């Protein structure tokens, strides 16, 4: 989600809420200091007046609860597998029931359209958890000749993230969730007497779970139960501000922020999720001839770089910052550098320039900033910083 960590609370405008969806949990966490954003047509909390660094450390050492605006979209029907293999750049037919898979979609010219996680709920029923973007319109526009249905399951998403998240989910499900539920595994479970969908995924680079409500979910009862089990484990609620810092550290990308239709998968470092020998997916012909050089990298600075800051090599502008933050763990500013051209940028010492002309040195680095093998979210590294 668009999660610039730096914002001016006074730089706001009044927005009518009719066309945007309010969270059913909003009244349970809103404060007078709440600053809202809009993502995937849904309002979400960018900041609620909390101590963001304290929430970051609580995420790393205990657990955090986030009410996120991700929007699951249901795709089902007899032709759903060939349809999804037309939409996405990797095989879908071999995705097992109760599993999720990161999948990207490209436009016909090979530019990145959207990314997200696809879950197989039933043989011919899938949910794609989309970020911001006109996914439903895109699916319908490309559905001719396929017997499929695109629908809104009216699901809201809570994320429980951090080293205590397993204990919390085990308690919430009366032991039904065990450590056998691996990374990107998912399934239906009962919490607070009602069925929800749970996946072992998240947007933080920590061990974590996502709880997906259904249309009939009693959101008040669910929230009350999650808080009752989470509190003894040190869980706190926070806006996406602390999540945003951690996702940058973990090298997790945001559609529309870090890449867009002008970026191909290899330029964004996502070439591993393109299976050119899989099927005739949208954009395949263009990608066969697309440049393979990388343009998106990490950068470190003495202080937090802001999105939009230009990156200079001497007097020449060579790129810009897409998102930045001050990492409490690394003790320095970090962010993503989107370079104007591909090249051997890692290790280069460059300069970041703010809008008002102030500059600071930066170093281009590879992503992620640490835990490249994802040992933390996979549960293989239980070290608590």
For 137-179, give the DSSP string: HHHHHT-TT---EEE-----EEEEESTTHHHHHHHHTTT-S-T
What is the residue-averaged pLDDT of the chain? 95
Residue 304 is classified by DSSP as: P
The pLDDT, as a whole number, for residue 136 is 94
Structure tokens at 4: 């610039």
322, two tokens: 């897409």
294-365: what CATH class? mainly beta
Tell me the residue length of the chain: 385
Segment 82-88 long-range contacts (CB within 8 Å, at least 24 positions apart) = 82/146, 82/279, 83/143, 83/146, 83/148, 84/118, 84/126, 85/278, 85/279, 85/281, 86/142, 86/146, 86/279, 86/280, 86/281, 86/282, 87/138, 87/139, 87/142, 87/281, 87/282, 88/118, 88/281
Residues 6 or more apart whose CB falls under 8 angstroms from that of 55 comprise: 64, 236, 238, 241, 242
Correct CATH for 1-293 of 3.40.50.2300, 3.40.1390.20, 3.40.50.720, 3.30.1360.120:
3.30.1360.120
Largest pairwise CA distance in the chain: 63
User: What is the token pair recorded at 122?
Assistant: 């039933």
Q: What is the DSSP letter of 88?
A: B
Spatial separation of the C-alpha atoms in residues 166 and 7, rounded to whole Å: 33
HSE-up of residue 94 (Cα within 13 Å, Cβ side):
3
- Beta-carbon count within 10 A of 266 CB: 20
217: CB partners within 8 A, 6+ apart = 156, 194, 196
- The sign of the CA dihedral 228, 229, 232, 233 is negative
Q: What is the pLDDT of residue 106?
A: 98
Beta bridge partners of 332: 327
pLDDT score at 18: 67
Give residue 357's pLDDT. 86
Give me the phi and psi of 153, to 5 degrees please. Answer: -75, 0
Candidates 39, 96, 76; CA nearest to 151 is: 76
- Amino acid 278: pLDDT: 79
Distance CA 244, CA 254 (A): 10
Q: Which residues of the chain have pLDDT under 50?
A: none
CA gap 349, 347 in Å, rounded:
6
Give the full edge-to-edge strand order of the sheet including 125-130: 100-106, 112-122, 125-130, 71-76, 149-151
Give the start-to-end residue ranges of the domains of the chain: 1-293, 294-365
- Please state the pTM of the whole predicted model: 0.95
Rounded-to-integer distance, Cα 19 and Cα 148, Å: 27
């Amino acid at each position: 989600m668009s999660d610039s960590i730096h914002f001016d609370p006074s730089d706001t405008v009044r927005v009518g809420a009719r066309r945007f969806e309010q969270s059913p949990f909003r009244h349970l966490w809103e404060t007078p200091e709440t600053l809202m954003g809009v993502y995937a047509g849904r309002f979400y909390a960018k900041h609620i007046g909390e101590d963001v660094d304290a929430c970051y450390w609580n995420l790393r050492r205990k657990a955090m609860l986030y009410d996120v605006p991700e929007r699951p979209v249901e795709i089902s029907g007899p032709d759903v597998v060939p349809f999804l293999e037309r939409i996405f750049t990797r095989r879908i037919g071999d995705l097992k029931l109760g599993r999720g898979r990161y999948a990207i979609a490209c436009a016909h010219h090979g530019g990145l359209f959207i990314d997200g996680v696809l879950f197989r709920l039933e043989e011919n029923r899938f949910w794609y958890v989309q970020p911001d973007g006109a996914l439903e319109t895109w699916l319908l526009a490309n559905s001719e000749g396929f017997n499929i249905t695109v629908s809104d399951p009216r699901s809201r998403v809570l994320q429980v993230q951090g080293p205590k998240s397993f204990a919390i989910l085990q308690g919430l499900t009366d032991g039904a969730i065990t450590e056998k539920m691996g990374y990107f595994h998912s399934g239906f479970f009962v919490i607070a007497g009602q069925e929800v969908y749970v996946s072992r995924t998240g947007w933080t680079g920590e061990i974590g779970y996502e709880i997906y409500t259904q249309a009939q979910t009693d959101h008040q009862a669910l929230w009350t139960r999650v808080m009752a089990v989470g509190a003894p484990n040190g869980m706190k609620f926070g806006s996406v501000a602390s999540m945003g810092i951690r996702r940058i550290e973990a090298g997790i990308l945001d559609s529309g922020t870090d890449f867009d239709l002008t970026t191909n998968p290899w330029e964004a470092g996502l070439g591993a999720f393109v299976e050119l020998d899989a099927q005739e997916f949208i954009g395949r012909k263009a990608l066969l001839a697309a440049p393979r050089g990388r343009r998106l990298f990490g950068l470190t600075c003495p202080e937090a770089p802001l999105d939009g800051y230009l990156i200079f090599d001497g007097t020449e502008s060579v790129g810009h910052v897409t998102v930045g933050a001050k990492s409490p763990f690394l003790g320095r500013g970090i962010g993503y550098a989107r370079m104007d051209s591909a090249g051997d940028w890692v290790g280069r010492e460059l300069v970041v320039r703010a809008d008002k002309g102030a500059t600071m040195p930066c170093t281009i680095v590879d992503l992620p900033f640490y835990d490249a093998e994802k040992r933390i979210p996979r549960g293989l590294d239980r070290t608590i910083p």
